[in-house]
A = this chain, B = another copy of it.
Amino acid sequence: MTAPIRIKNIGELAKLAGVSTSTVSRALDDSPLIAQKTRDRIQALAREHDFRPNVMARNLRIQRTGAIGVVIPLGHETSQHISDPFFMTMLGLLADALTGRGHDLMLSRVIPSEDQWLDKIVDSGRVDGLIIIGQSDQSATIDRVAKRYRNLVVWGGYTKGQVHCSVGSDNVRGGYLATSHLIEQGCERITFVGDHRILEMSQRYEGYRAAMVESGLKHNVSELTAHLVAETAHPEITRFLGETAQPPQGIFAATDVIGMSALRALSDFGLAVPADVKVIGYDGLTISEHTVPRLTTMKQDLAKGAGNLIDLLFRRMAGEETDSVVIEPELLHRMSS
């Protein structure tokens, strides 16, 4: 019934239709240059043979790829795998938005071992633009490349004077609000749990510290360095709880995943949340709503963030200049505090 021969390029289709390749090309593109009935005929023919023009050839000619790179630098993680649902949420949102704009998503997880990692991606010519999720500890490299490559936006922290265009929540303020909340709930000894090397976390720590100092709790400032992945964060918190003479009254976890680990470690030690220890997380991921007890957290509006990232990126690709966006974080007071 259907035609047996497989058409593999517009040349063959052109021959079949008795026209030139240019006509086929334009017809498939629905160009008004081609008479309506010719267009219809060729499109029908293409459908019949389910022929789809080769994307690579097209891309080469028109000098764009139709793909946006999404890069997750893992400079801080020794562990090979990310299990942080944060990335999935972000990725899902980005994938949706990009598909909606007719672009594909090229995912790269990079463990930066040499400082050319970003240049390689940029110069590969595989993508029209780049979204980097989290500066990790690579701010310098990112800034260097941003200087010469415009089509680049970053989810993460904002630092005065940075070259690259970023979208992210106000981490300092978020840290301040989170800590203030715990203080309001009556906590005095509050421990910050996170990883300093990561820009956003160090900003959250800064906010934490400011709130503590402001409330005259400067001497109670304490910090536990914990990895981002739950597998490693949990034993670290457990060890910490085992070693301290007196457990803290409040824990400010730099991410929801760390918060979850904390909840579990506390439970292991027979400490009740929020009666004995109050816990607050950061991110506002779905997962934080499904812990027992439900985790109080600082919500970053990721949907909005992803929207901003895409929007800014496309504007930059169109040649516009863009400023960074800082989103106001929001306290979600739930059961753990």
Contacts and interface: CB of A to CB of B under 8 A. Distances in A.
Given A55-B126, A83-B286, A264-B294, A91 B107 contact: yes
- Describe A's contact surface by its main secondary structure: helix
Interface in A277-323: 285-287, 289-294
Contacts of A231: 286, 289
Contact of A287 (B67, B119, B126, B287): B287
A99 B257 CA distance: 26
A263 interface: yes
A54 interface: yes
A126 to B, nearest CB: 5
A146 interface: no
B104 A108 contact: yes
A260 interface: yes
Interface in A71-125: 80-85, 87-89, 91-93, 95-96, 99, 104-109, 119-120, 123-125
Contacts of A38: none
A57 interface: yes
A43 interface: no
A14 interface: no
Nearest to A86: B88
A83 B91 contact: no
A189 interface: no
A328 interface: no
Please give the count of copies of this chain that the complex contains. Answer: 2
A267 B263 CA distance: 15
Contact of A85 (B70, B85, B123, B264): B85
A88 B87 CA distance: 7
A56 interface: yes
Contacts of A230: 286-287, 289-290
A229 interface: yes
Nearest to A53: B125
Interface in A105-154: 105-109, 119-120, 123-126
Given A81-B96, A260-B287, 6 more contacts: A57-B60, A80-B96, A81-B92, A260-B291, A263-B292, A264-B292
20 contacts: A52-B123, A55-B126, A56-B59, A56-B126, A83-B89, A83-B286, A84-B88, A85-B88, A88-B91, A91-B107, A96-B109, A99-B108, A104-B107, A104-B126, A105-B106, A106-B107, A234-B290, A260-B287, A263-B290, A292-B292
Interface of A: 50, 52, 54-57, 59-60, 65, 67, 70, 80-85, 87-89, 91-93, 95-96, 99, 104-109, 119-120, 123-126, 229-231, 234, 257, 260-261, 263-264, 267, 285-287, 289-294
